[in-house]
């Protein structure tokens, strides 16, 4: 969800105003995904590296998260959204930690859409914590054991990865899980991301041939020759 800061700066607003608009865009995107039958949505809301931002932006994002939890969770729960918060929790404010636990408990039985909110998350953090877990359990460091120990083990690998804001990089997001994800990059700043953008991404996804290392002929043998 990149581009909140630039969205705000273009309007001579503080960066936090962009994050607030970003939250509105997330809410809209959750609804759009449900309307389109997307079953799992995973978003990057705060990276392990975002602690390095100016202190007022970091505390603003923490406060925004705490207030968003209080305001949004009852409605999300009613709409059938199941929330998971993915990332290291220990160094987050107590209010945010408690809000995560409450939100996960309140939505645990929902099945309409799984919404994974990556917060204090990094792909490298996830791989390291998974490896530590596997080693502590005395298991072999196999791909299967590592996958099962990842913070996103409760969902399959993503099919489509969308990055807004014009940058062409993954920035430590889903490094393990995105091995075969189709990538979609758009210049749209996250607060402006709306139905036409999501539909463009889904339409492009539908055109992609997913070979998973195989050849086209192997995928549709009847069309070979």
> Quick one: which of 64, 170, 181, 200 contacts ligand FPP (CB under 6 A)?
64
CB 46: neighbour CB atoms within 10 A? 22
Instruction: Give the range of 16-24, 95-103, 107-115, 176-184 binding ligand FPP by CB under 6 A.
Output: 16-24
| Rounded Cα–Cα distance for residues 12 and 5 (Å) | 10
Compute how many other C-beta atoms are within 10 angstroms of the C-beta atom of residue 203: 9
Interaction of residue 151 with ligand FPP, rule CB under 6 A: no
Query: What letter does residue 43 receive in the DSSP assignment?
Result: E
Contact by Cβ (8 Å): 76, 109: no
Site for ligand FPP in 22-41 (CB under 6 A): 22-23, 26
186 is a contact residue toward ligand FPP (CB under 6 A): no
Tell me the β-bridge partners of 121.
47
Give least dist CB 89 to ligand FPP, A. 14
Instruction: Show the site string, 65-84: x = touches ligand FPP by CB under 6 A, - = not.
Output: x--x----------------
Concerning whether 50 is annotated as a catalytic residue, the answer is yes
What is the spatial distance between Cα 86 and Cα 77, in angstroms, rounded to a whole number? 18
2 is catalytic: yes
Please, which of residues 163-182 interact with ligand FPP by CB under 6 A? 165
Q: How far is the CB of 145 from ligand FPP (least distance, A)?
A: 32
Taking the complex as a whole, the smallest distance from the CB of residue 22 to ligand FPP amounts, in Å, to: 3
Distance between CA 154 and CA 39 in Å, rounded? 13
> For residues 50 and 129, which CB has a smaller minimum distance to ligand FPP in the complex?
50
Q: Which stretch binds ligand FPP (CB under 6 A): 15-23, 27-35, 148-156, 200-208?
A: 15-23
Do the beta carbons of residue 57 and residue 16 sit within 8 Å?
Answer: yes
Q: In the bound complex, what is the minimum distance in angstroms from residue 19's beta carbon to ligand FPP? A: 5
Angle of helix 15-35 relative to helix 55-78, nearest 10 degrees, comes to: 20
Q: Which of 45, 96, 113, 118 binds ligand FPP (CB under 6 A)?
A: 45
Task: Tell me how far apart the alpha carbons of residues 17 and 9 are, in angstroms, rounded to a whole number.
Answer: 9
Cα radius of gyration rounded to whole Å, the chain: 19
CA dist 131 and 125 (Å) reads 10
Contact positions vs ligand FPP (CB under 6 A): 1-6, 19, 22-23, 26, 45-46, 50, 61, 64-65, 68, 165, 190
Residues labelled as active-site residues: 2, 50
């Amino acid at each position: 969800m990149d581009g909140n800061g630039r969205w705000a700066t273009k309007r001579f607003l503080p960066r936090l105003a962009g994050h607030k608009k970003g939250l509105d865009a997330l809410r809209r995107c959750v609804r759009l995904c449900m309307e389109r039958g997307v079953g799992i949505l995973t978003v990057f809301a705060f990276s392990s590296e975002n602690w390095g931002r100016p202190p007022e932006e970091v505390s603003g994002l923490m406060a925004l998260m705490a207030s968003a939890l209080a305001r949004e969770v009852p409605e999300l729960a009613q709409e059938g959204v199941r929330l998971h918060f993915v990332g290291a929790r220990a160094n987050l404010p107590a209010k945010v930690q408690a809000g995560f636990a409450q939100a996960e408990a309140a939505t645990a039985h929902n099945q309409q859409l799984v919404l994974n909110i990556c917060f204090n998350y990094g792909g490298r953090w996830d791989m390291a914590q998974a490896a530590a877990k596997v080693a502590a359990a005395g298991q072999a460091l196999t791909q299967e054991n590592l996958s099962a120990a990842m913070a996103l083990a409760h969902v399959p690998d993503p099919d489509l990865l969308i990055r807004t804001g014009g940058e062409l990089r993954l920035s430590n997001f889903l490094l393990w899980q995105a091995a075969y994800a189709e990538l979609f990059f758009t210049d749209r700043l996250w607060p402006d991301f709306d139905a036409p953008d999501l539909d463009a991404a889904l339409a492009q996804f539908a055109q992609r041939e997913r070979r998973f290392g195989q050849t086209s002929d192997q995928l549709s043998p009847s069309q070979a020759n």
